Amino acid sequence: MPQGRPEHVPDDGLTTRQRRRQPVLAVHTGAGKGKSTAAFGMALRAWSQGWPVAVFQFVKSPRWRVGEESALRALGAGPDGGPVTWHKMGEGWSWIQRPGAERDHAVEAAEGWAQIKRDLAAQSYRFYVLDEFTYPMKWGWVDVADVVATLAARPGSQHVVVTGRDAHPDLLAAADLVTEMTKVKHPMDAGRKGQAGIEW
């Protein structure tokens, strides 16, 4: 079982305590399951520390992540831990009041990223899940260089987890922690259906 021992101690002049407070940029990528699920699991730890947690969900289906959302919202509303804010592109971002407007996913994604930039600058949260955020980058809706530069320059101790397949190499290079989830075997390969409580 892992002991958490670094492979070497860097000559960076920082104390262990300072090193423990360095903000982390994590990327969960690959074709396997668990990229987002692990990010939401990390959010449990952040919540437990009492940190303000924000989720920005760059997905379209309303059914996605309903379990995680209800759980994290319940935690955020409870007496312990940190507050939880959940933003969904799929229903139109909550800070944009534009009922009935035509949906343009590229514009919506850019609006989501603009809000994240404002929140990072204001240090609104301490832990961010940017769920499926690799796709707007891949599709050119959000500028990768801007994402990398903004994350590299973010103030304070704000941890960020980006999930999604096909993460851009520049994002991976900027990340502190990269995990690739690889599909070894999936029930849908055998024709099984997505299941309540398992897939959502």
Least distance (Å) between residue 37 CB and its own copies? 3
Q: Is 19 in the site for its own copies (CB under 8 A)?
A: yes
Q: Which of 13, 61, 97, 99 binds its own copies (CB under 8 A)?
A: 61
Least distance (Å) between residue 97 CB and its own copies? 26
Q: Is 76 in the site for its own copies (CB under 8 A)?
A: no
- Judge whether 39 and 129 are in contact, CB under 8 Å: yes
Q: Which of 55, 72, 162, 171 binds its own copies (CB under 8 A)?
A: 72
Q: Is 46 in the site for its own copies (CB under 8 A)?
A: yes
Nearest to 131 by CA among 182, 104, 82, 167: 167
Contact pattern from residue 79 through residue 98 relative to its own copies, giving x for each residue in contact according to CB under 8 A and a dash for the rest: -xx-----------------
What residues between 148 and 187 interact with its own copies by CB under 8 A? 159, 172, 175-187
- Judge whether 25 and 130 are in contact, CB under 8 Å: no
Q: Which is nearer to its own copies, 46 or 147 (CB)?
A: 46
What residues between 96 and 125 interact with its own copies by CB under 8 A? none
